[in-house]
């Protein structure tokens, strides 16, 4: 197995684990136990990898990296959204503030 395929598998699995965090935050609608800054750093690094992997002709790593950067981007902005809502003191954590879904809190 080439190093590119091996790295691509790692990136693909990493993205799947990040999607678990996205799903959990969507359920809880509160950010606890994780800071937004490392997520932002790895998101930016992921965007760099989208440029870097093709320059090395590492196409499998690029495919896995797309999953990582997309999931980190969703998680990052999702975290900022819920942090901002909590700081504003909003207690009604319904679906995007439109009164859909069940209330929390």
Distance CA 18, CA 42 (A): 11
Residues with Cβ < 8 Å from 54, sequence gap 6 or more?
Answer: 62
Task: Kindly state the tokens that stand for 84.
Answer: 């901002």
| pLDDT, position 92 | 54
Would the pTM of this model clear 0.75, i.e. be above it?
A: yes
Render each residue's pLDDT in the chain as its tens digit; 105 residues.
999 999 999 999 999 999 999 999 999 999 999 999 999 999 999 999 999 999 999 999 999 999 999 999 999 999 999 999 988 887 655 555 554 455 555
Q: Which residues pair with 57 in a beta bridge?
A: none
CATH of domain 3-87: 1.20.1280.290
| pLDDT, position 95 | 53
| pLDDT, position 31 | 92
Residues with Cβ < 8 Å from 104, sequence gap 6 or more?
Answer: 29, 92, 93
Evaluate whether 57 touches 87 at the Cβ level (below 8 Å): no
Task: Kindly state the tokens that stand for 10.
Answer: 């790692």
Domain ranges of the chain: 3-87
């Amino acid at each position: 197995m080439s190093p590119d395929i091996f790295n691509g598998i790692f990136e693909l699995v990493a993205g799947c684990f990040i999607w678990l965090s996205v799903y959990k935050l969507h359920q809880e609608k509160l950010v606890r136990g994780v800071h937004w800054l490392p997520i932002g750093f790895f998101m930016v690094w992921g965007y760099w990898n989208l440029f870097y992997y093709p320059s090395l002709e590492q196409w499998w790593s690029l495919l896995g990296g797309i999953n990582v950067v997309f999931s980190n981007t969703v998680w990052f902005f999702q975290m900022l959204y819920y942090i901002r809502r909590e700081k504003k003191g909003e207690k009604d954590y319904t679906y995007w503030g439109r009164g859909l879904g069940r209330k929390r809190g």
